[in-house]
Amino acid sequence: HVFKLEDYRASDYLIPATSLDFRLSPDATHLTALLTIERREGVAASAPLVLDGDGLTLLGVAIDGQALSASDYEATPDRLTILKPPATRRFELRLETEIAPSRNEALMGLYRSNNVYCTQCEAEGFRRITYFLDRPDILSVYTVRIEAPHNEAPLLLSNGNPVERGALANGRHYAIWHDPFPKPSYLFALVAGALGKVAGSFTTMSGREVELGIYVEPGKERLAGYAMDALKRSMKWDEDAFGREYDLDVFNIVAVSDFNMGAMENKGLNVFNDKYVLADEETATDADFANIEAIIAHEYFHNWTGNRITCRDWFQLCLKEGLTVYRDHEFSADQRSRAVKRIAEVRTLRAHQFPEDQGPLAHPVRPRRYREINNFYTATVYEKGSEVVRMIRTILGPETFRAGMDLYFERHDGEAATIEDFLKVFEDVSGRDLAQFALWYHQAGTPNLTVSSAHNAAAKEFTLEIEQSVPPTPSESRKRLMHIPLAFGLVGADGKPVAWDSVEGATVDDGVIHIRKRRHTVRFSGISERPSVSLNRGFSAPITLSVQQKPDDQFFLAAHDSDAFSRWQAFNTLLTDALIAAFRQILGGKQPAFAGRLAELAGRIAGDETLEPAYRALALALPGEADIARDIGKGIDPDAIFAAREALARAIAEANRAAFSALYDSLVDKGPFSPDAASAGRRALRNILLDYLALLPGGAGLAARHFAAATNMTDRAAALAVLTHRHPGTAEAEEALAAFEARYRGDALVLDKWFQIQAGVPGARTVDKVRELMRHPAFSIANPNRVRSLIGTFSSANQTGFHRPDGEGYRLFAETVLQVEKRNPQVAARLATALRSWRSLEPGRQAKARQALLEMAKAENLSADLRDIVERTLA
Ligand code: ARG
Ligand code: ZN
């Protein structure tokens, strides 16, 4: 079945109040649901009431206290139809269902993780708990009673505020929760089990006390301190930056070890993948700390953007996700370094969203069609969705943007809204027409701008010729012209901004050229010397640029651009161009050669004390193999890309040996560990220097000493990756792997790093290693984190291993995806997207990749999730 945006219709019935009574048991949980049903104004009394279900067993159904007879309703596991609802507009529907959480391996609905009951209802998991109008525009006030044996589940949590709790006979107990805020069913949550608690409190801007709780596996409480701190900072930031205050008496977070995604924003009861809660220096890297901070913030910010204002239907997913990602990006930028954060965001967008937008799975930020909504929790909806919000701010300016957000909260609080509603508030506060801009939501594909420049010294005129194009994407062959806010700067020979007298050919304001037509000839007058042009500063628009620019200009900008992002970009472009040239040389049977001044500039950036260490580390990180492949576009031979990248790394290392070595020594961590951004930046710089130095004679020994001397996970994991990736199979690498395994045996979350690093080892042998590791006692095909660490890393982050020319990597992949799919279709479908760029491979690999996709397509009883991905990828 294909769901279509234009088919949206309000439901005939509403459910203003929902009361749930759970009697928990692993194999037979009994639920009584009391739904207050209200027929919508104007709907005929004869309209049947059709509720969604998914694999349910109905034990009883009654209306206003009267049991229904068999002819009054139709029940299947996936649907309950009340054929003739009462004539009264309001009635009470009582449903009794039974479910088996212990047998729920899809991890949607009510399931067990590590003996803890927990739920995941977004997008359509609530229908696996009871029959319901399981759609986001049905807002209901929930009262939840949970009953369980005290020894099995001393803790009983749900959404909202605690109302009552008490002991019952036979060692049982109960708790009642009430959530006063009407919410859609996807925000329902229940958690019950034996968990340890970290308590905190927060006083809101109007002086209300909120009790905070983070619940983790008993014994792991001290690993939740950083998450608690991040939560308090998030609550404060949302008050300061957006005027948003928390609204319940309690805010709880639970960490579980089996979770399909990162985390979930259930009202007042966020449920997290424990990977994004638990951290200390011994077990978590600096990247883990940053992710925890960002995801805690993200889920908390959903309280307003997602929960108080939710989505009318799932086509509007970006209304809450893109906006909330934008908010968490801004939070992290304020907490850390804005420039470094921006570069990292753009790297992520290019690594995940660009290939999606440029391949068979491309879709608009607001899709118009889907077969399985779970497959639309994508980089496009999330990351590009965030960039679209950022562009609104760029176009309107910070004050008007904030006024628009204020109006959005005021106008739509308590509603299930649409993208049109969102755009309208910005039109209303600014008086502008955003119709052309709205194409960013409606049209898929990454727009490209071709730019060339000319300087006429006699006329003192500088001209930019800019042309936009949007490549065709599946089912959208003709594209309309977009409004692209292109931030830019003209940079003089002294590195200072160049001023102009007047400009014509496009609207230019506040350093932004507004591209709205296919072609713009933008003329700047009063410019006597030819400037360098810095384009798409701060990555003001999520586009690709084809700039006819001399390498001299690129080198100049890489050293002098005042915009930190563009300066990074200029250097990164130089690296990319060099790598692509080297790739072609290698394919042509030649030894790659690199301009000496590139390595020299790398050395200068590394040692530039005016730049933050974290920034220098990002600049020195060569474009990834997949990034290079994406920029080359077709005929990809991953082995040649790998060779090109290694040759450039070696050239940079050799040219800077002494300087890198001295800098490496000077950056050694002094004093106690701190996860703050500045300390993390120093570690990042030192670890990237290690990666270069490891390529030189004595490199394995240096990395082994780094590993042995490490006092935190960041350094330990970095050294292990350097050893195994730069010196695979050596005694140093093998010893470090064994030591790591011995040290963290029994800590599955940390062993994930061990799986991940090994799955990432470049080369033909890794397929066999992955097969072997799948039999490791710590591995479990049922646990999403294990699967993602081993199979996910292998297929999406190991270009030479996965794309082994004989197709063995694809075979292991297809086999494993199908194995995962039997339990967990959602995780399998996500894994399967690793083949989305198969058409850009060289013909030999392409044929083998296609074979693997066909293999999956013809498997029996394919889930809707996996079928959707495989068929679209092949189409
Ligand atoms: N709303 C969650 C978040 O981004 C993600 C939930 C994903 N659920 C799913 N079924 N794909 O914070
Ligand atoms: Zn989200």
Three state DSSP letters for 73-106:
EEEECCEEEECCCCCCCEEEEEEEEEECHHHCCC
Shortest-distance ligand to the CA of residue 270 = 1
Q: Which residues contact 338 (CB under 8 A, 6 or more apart)?
A: none
Torsion on CA atoms 380, 386, 390, 391, rounded to nearest 10: 20
750 pLDDT band (50/70/90 cuts)? very high
Cα separation, 767 vs 791, whole angstroms: 10
Q: Tell which atom from ligand 1 comes closest to the C-alpha of 261.
A: 7
Q: Which residues contact 589 (CB under 8 A, 6 or more apart)?
A: none
The percent of residues in the chain predicted with pLDDT above 90, rounded, is: 99
Cα separation, 590 vs 664, whole angstroms: 33
The pLDDT of residue 326 is: 99
Whether the pLDDT of residue 671 is over 90: the answer is no
The pLDDT of residue 633 is: 97
Q: Which of 264, 317, 376, 826 to mutate to test the pocket of ligand 1 (most atoms within 8 A of CB)?
A: 264
- Determine the distance separating the centroid of ligand 1 and the alpha carbon of 122, expressed in angstroms: 6
* Neighbour tally for 45: CB within 10 Å: 11
Q: Tell which atom from ligand 1 comes closest to the C-alpha of 124.
A: 10
Cα separation, 641 vs 624, whole angstroms: 9
Whether the pLDDT of residue 125 is over 90: the answer is yes
Nearest to 151 by CA among 135, 136, 167: 167
pLDDT by residue (tens digit) across 278-302?
A: 999 999 999 999 999 999 999 999 9
Q: Are 231 and 273 in contact (CB under 8 A)?
A: no
Average pLDDT of the segment spanning 589-611: 97
- Determine the distance separating the centroid of ligand 1 and the alpha carbon of 19, expressed in angstroms: 24
The pLDDT of residue 257 is: 98
Q: Which residues contact 638 (CB under 8 A, 6 or more apart)?
A: 625, 629, 799, 800, 803, 845
The pLDDT of residue 176 is: 99
Q: Are 269 and 252 in contact (CB under 8 A)?
A: yes
- Determine the distance separating the centroid of ligand 1 and the alpha carbon of 95, expressed in angstroms: 28
Torsion on CA atoms 416, 419, 422, 426, rounded to nearest 10: -170
Q: Which of 188, 377, 386, 826 to mutate to test the pocket of ligand 1 (most atoms within 8 A of CB)?
A: 377
Long-range contacts of 272-278 (CB under 8 A, 24+ apart): 272/299, 273/784, 273/785, 274/216, 274/217, 274/749, 275/749, 275/752, 275/785, 276/227, 277/214, 277/216, 277/223, 277/224, 277/227, 277/253, 278/216, 278/220, 278/223, 278/224, 278/227, 278/749
- Determine the distance separating the centroid of ligand 2 and the alpha carbon of 347, expressed in angstroms: 20
Shortest-distance ligand to the CA of residue 319 = 2
- Determine the distance separating the centroid of ligand 2 and the alpha carbon of 576, expressed in angstroms: 32
Torsion on CA atoms 145, 147, 153, 157, rounded to nearest 10: 0
The pLDDT of residue 862 is: 97
Which of these is catalytic: 122, 217, 299, 476? 299
Per the annotation, the verdict on 410 as an active-site residue is no
- Determine the distance separating the centroid of ligand 1 and the alpha carbon of 186, expressed in angstroms: 10
Q: Give the SS3 label for residue 370.
A: strand
Nearest to 558 by CA among 602, 607, 596: 602
Whether the pLDDT of residue 697 is over 90: the answer is yes
Q: Tell which atom from ligand 1 comes closest to the C-alpha of 302.
A: 12
pLDDT by residue (tens digit) across 38-75?
A: 999 999 999 999 999 999 999 999 999 999 999 999 99
Shortest-distance ligand to the CA of residue 377 = 1
The helix-helix angle for 677-693 and 657-666 (nearest 10°) equals 140
The pLDDT of residue 120 is: 99
Q: Tell which atom from ligand 1 comes closest to the C-alpha of 377.
A: 11
Q: Whose CA is nearest to atom 5 of ligand 1?
A: 264
pLDDT by residue (tens digit) across 808-848?
A: 999 999 999 999 999 999 999 999 999 999 999 999 999 99
Residues with CB under 5 A from ligand 2 (ion): 321, 324
The pLDDT of residue 549 is: 86
The percent of residues in the chain predicted with pLDDT above 70, rounded, is: 100
385 pLDDT band (50/70/90 cuts)? very high
- Determine the distance separating the centroid of ligand 1 and the alpha carbon of 162, expressed in angstroms: 25
Single-letter residue type at 407: L
Average pLDDT of the segment spanning 601-628: 98
Q: Which of 120, 126, 187, 261 to mutate to test the pocket of ligand 1 (most atoms within 8 A of CB)?
A: 261
Q: Tell which atom from ligand 1 comes closest to the C-alpha of 306.
A: 1
Q: Whose CA is nearest to atom 2 of ligand 1?
A: 264
Whether the pLDDT of residue 243 is over 90: the answer is yes
Shortest-distance ligand to the CA of residue 829 = 1
Q: Are 216 and 223 in contact (CB under 8 A)?
A: yes
Ligand 1, residues at Cβ distance < 6 Å: 122-123, 261, 263-265, 298-299, 321, 374, 377
pTM confidence score: 0.99
Q: Tell which atom from ligand 1 comes closest to the C-alpha of 374.
A: 11
Average pLDDT of the segment spanning 702-720: 98
Nearest to 638 by CA among 721, 716, 579, 722: 579
Whether the complex's predicted ipTM surpasses the cut of 0.85? yes
Q: Tell which atom from ligand 1 comes closest to the C-alpha of 321.
A: 4
- Determine the distance separating the centroid of ligand 1 and the alpha carbon of 76, expressed in angstroms: 27
Provide the token pair at 234.
């998030």
The pLDDT of residue 670 is: 87
Shortest-distance ligand to the CA of residue 126 = 1
- Determine the distance separating the centroid of ligand 1 and the alpha carbon of 647, expressed in angstroms: 41
Whether the pLDDT of residue 548 is over 90: the answer is no
Whether the pLDDT of residue 121 is over 90: the answer is yes
Whether the pLDDT of residue 859 is over 90: the answer is yes
Average pLDDT of the segment spanning 332-344: 98
The pLDDT of residue 868 is: 98
Cα separation, 508 vs 485, whole angstroms: 9
**Number of helices (H) and strands (E), helices first, in the chain?**
30, 33
pLDDT by residue (tens digit) across 780-805?
A: 999 999 999 999 999 999 999 999 99
Q: Whose CA is nearest to atom 11 of ligand 1?
A: 374
The pLDDT of residue 740 is: 99
Q: Which of 108, 111, 122 to mutate to test the pocket of ligand 1 (most atoms within 8 A of CB)?
A: 122
